[in-house]
């Protein structure tokens, strides 16, 4: 008996007690792989198991969940509920972690974070409960709720943004790196008093939200590459050495959408020339044009021109020792800029809300900015 099979057989005895009887009643010596209990073969059979475990694994190996690797240090102070497999599992069972708690040898979000195959006998998701965002609004978009449990802002912008000493605003201050759920819903950026905000309908019409767009794969034999779709969780990656977008989800609604040749830009032209450069470009380029007004390579961005600036002329963050108080408008601008940058969809998650927020933020620092094209 090969060592791997021997381990499975030995472990089968201990697992069997915890597993649902219906799924695990059958014994050893049956099915495709007589050497291991048939109850395990749905996933662990050496040939054609019922579930494509090895395939999911191959893509997962290349995903940020596996490779970015922050579990080792984001293993306490509440960070673990999103950053470690162990922390997330505990969070779904017990709620908010004790900030002093941590586990030895934490691991990255992995198979058992999102699934509980040894308890359920399948790949149903560990949680798909609606998610309460930091500002109290609810995110409820099908199975995408799983993703939103972790990919949400950790701050309530309306309470966090306030006049504050310059030395308290560090580059990691703000909504945190994964505010996607909030932006998909169209909420929780710093919203300027007296302005009305709307939302793209993506949140209402894409059944499983995040999952529909990020894990979709083209139908048929040619499945892009392991870097894209499925358990890579990525929409962009390399195929035969070329930057490639996975349009398979988008084209079910945007039938003519193409990748802009030679770029990783989705070919969907914006309704207006939002960045005032004289051309109606694809949405992501209009959003880039607006972000360039905050920070740009020429060093002329609004956040590079304040006293003291948030960013240096070369684009690096300007750490300030001064405790002189920054006014609300400056803090709000930094917060919103960081949030849209951290979202990283360049407007795709919610074109309407993201452009409204960028418009109001630019105008608050530059009253001459023409807002007549602000989406209504």
Q: What part of residues 242-271 is at the interface with ligand HEC (CB under 6 A)?
A: 249-250, 252-254, 264, 266, 268, 270-271
Among the residue ranges 79-87, 94-102, 158-166, 219-227, the one whose residues contact ligand HEC (CB under 6 A): 79-87
Comparison of 14 and 307: residue with beta carbon closer to ligand HEC: 14
Q: Considering the complex, what minimum distance in angstroms separates the CB of residue 297 from ligand HEC?
A: 20
Nearer to ligand HEC, 163 or 198 (CB): 198
Q: Which is nearer to ligand HEC, 108 or 135 (CB)?
A: 108
Binding ligand HEC (rule: CB under 6 A), the pick from 25, 26, 77, 94 is 77
| Shortest distance in whole angstroms from residue 163 CB to ligand HEC | 24
Q: Which of 45, 74, 239, 320 binds ligand HEC (CB under 6 A)?
A: 74
Contact 266, 284 (CB under 8 A): yes
CA angle 178, 181, 183 (to 5 degrees): 95
Region near ligand HEC per CB under 6 A, out of 26-34, 53-61, 295-303, 326-334 = 53-61
Restricted to residues 284-343, the positions that interact with ligand HEC (CB under 6 A) are none
For the chain, state the CA radius of gyration: 24
Applying the rule CB under 6 A, the residues between 10 and 49 that interact with ligand HEC are 11-12, 15-16, 24, 37, 39-40, 42-44
In the complex with ligand HEC, the residue whose CB is nearer, 13 or 298, is: 13
Report yes or no: 95 and 105 within 8 Å, Cβ to Cβ. Answer: no
Task: Scan residues 161-190 and list those touching ligand HEC (CB under 6 A).
Answer: 176-178, 180-181, 184
What is the distance between the alpha carbons of residues 312 and 335, in angstroms, rounded to a whole number? 17
Q: Indicate which single residue of 5, 51, 318, 373 sits in contact with ligand HEC (rule: CB under 6 A).
A: 51
C-beta closer to ligand HEC: residue 147 or 365: 147
Query: With binding defined as CB under 6 A, does residue 116 bind ligand HEC?
Result: no
Q: Which of residues 218-247 bind ligand HEC (CB under 6 A)?
A: 231, 233-236
Per-residue 3-state assignment (H helix, E strand, C coil) for 352-365: HHHHHHHHHHHHHH
Q: Which is nearer to ligand HEC, 44 or 293 (CB)?
A: 44
Burial class (CB in 10 A: 0-12, 13-18, 19+), 153: buried
3-state helix, strand, coil in the chain (%, to 5): 40, 5, 55
Q: Which stretch binds ligand HEC (CB under 6 A): 163-171, 200-208, 218-226, 311-319?
A: 200-208
Check binding of 365 to ligand HEC (CB under 6 A): no
User: How far apart are CB 367 and ligand HEC at their closest, in Å?
Assistant: 26
Torsion of CA 214, 220, 223, 224, to 10 degrees: -90
Q: Tokens 């310059």 correspond to what residue?
A: 166
Q: Is 67 helix (H, G, I), strand (E, B) or coil?
A: helix
Measured from the CB of residue 358, what is the shortest distance to ligand HEC in angstroms?
13
Q: How many helices (H) and strands (E) does the chain have?
A: 17, 6
Residues in the chain: 376
H or E element in which residue 139 lies: strand 138-139
C-alpha to C-alpha distance for 223 and 214, rounded to whole angstroms: 14
Give the shortest CB-185-to-ligand HEC separation in angstroms. 8
What are residue 125's DSSP bridge partners? 115
Q: How far is the CB of 364 from ligand HEC (least distance, A)?
A: 23
C-alpha span between 201 and 78 (Å, rounded): 32
Q: For residues 85-114, which are near ligand HEC according to CB under 6 A?
A: 88, 108-111, 113-114
Q: Binders of ligand HEC among 135-164, rule CB under 6 A?
A: 143-144, 146-152, 154
Contacts with ligand HEC by CB under 6 A: the residue count is: 95
Copy the structure tokens of residue 161: 């943004």
Helix (H, G, I), strand (E, B), or coil: what is residue 326? Answer: strand
List CB contacts of 13: < 8 A, sequence separation 6 or more. none
- Choose which of 161, 189, 213, 302 interacts with ligand HEC (CB under 6 A): 213
């Amino acid at each position: 008996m090969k060592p791997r099979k021997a381990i499975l057989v030995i472990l089968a005895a201990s697992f069997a007690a915890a597993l649902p009887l219906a799924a695990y009643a059958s014994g050893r010596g049956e099915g495709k792989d007589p050497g291991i209990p048939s109850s395990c073969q749905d996933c662990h059979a050496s040939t054609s198991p019922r579930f494509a475990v090895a395939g999911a694994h191959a893509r997962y190996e290349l995903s940020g969940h596996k490779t970015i690797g922050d579990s080792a240090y984001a293993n306490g102070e509440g960070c673990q509920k999103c950053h470690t497999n162990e922390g997330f599992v505990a969070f779904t069972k017990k709620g908010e972690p004790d900030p002093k708690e941590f586990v030895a040898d934490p691991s990255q979000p992995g198979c058992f974070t999102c699934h509980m195959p040894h308890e359920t006998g399948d790949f149903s998701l560990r949680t798909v409960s609606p998610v309460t965002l930091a500002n109290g609004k609810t995110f409820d978009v099908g199975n995408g709720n799983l993703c939103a449990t972790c990919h949400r802002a950790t701050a309530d912008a309306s309470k966090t943004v306030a006049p504050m000493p310059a030395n308290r605003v560090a580059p990691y201050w703000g909504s945190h790196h994964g505010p996607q759920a909030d932006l998909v819903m169209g909420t929780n950026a710093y919203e300027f008093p007296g302005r009305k905000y709307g939302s793209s309908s993506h949140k209402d019409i894409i059944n499983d939200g995040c999952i529909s767009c990020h894990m979709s794969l083209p139908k048929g034999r040619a499945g892009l590459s392991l870097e894209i779709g499925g358990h890579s969780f990525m929409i962009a990656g390399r195929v035969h050495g070329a930057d490639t977008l996975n349009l398979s989800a988008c084209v079910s609604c945007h039938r003519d959408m193409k990748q802009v040749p030679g770029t990783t830009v989705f070919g969907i032209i914006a309704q207006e020339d939002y960045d005032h450069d004289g051309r109606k470009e694809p949405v992501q380029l209009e959003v880039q044009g607006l972000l360039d007004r905050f920070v740009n390579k020429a060093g002329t961005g609004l956040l590079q021109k304040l006293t003291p600036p948030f960013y240096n002329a070369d684009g690096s963050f300007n750490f300030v020792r001064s405790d002189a108080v920054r006014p609300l408008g400056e803090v709000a601008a930094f917060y919103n800029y960081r949030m849209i940058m951290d979202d990283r969809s360049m407007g795709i998650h919610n074109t309407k809300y993201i452009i409204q927020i960028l418009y109001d933020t630019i105008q608050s620092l530059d009253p001459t900015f023409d807002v007549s094209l602000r989406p209504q």
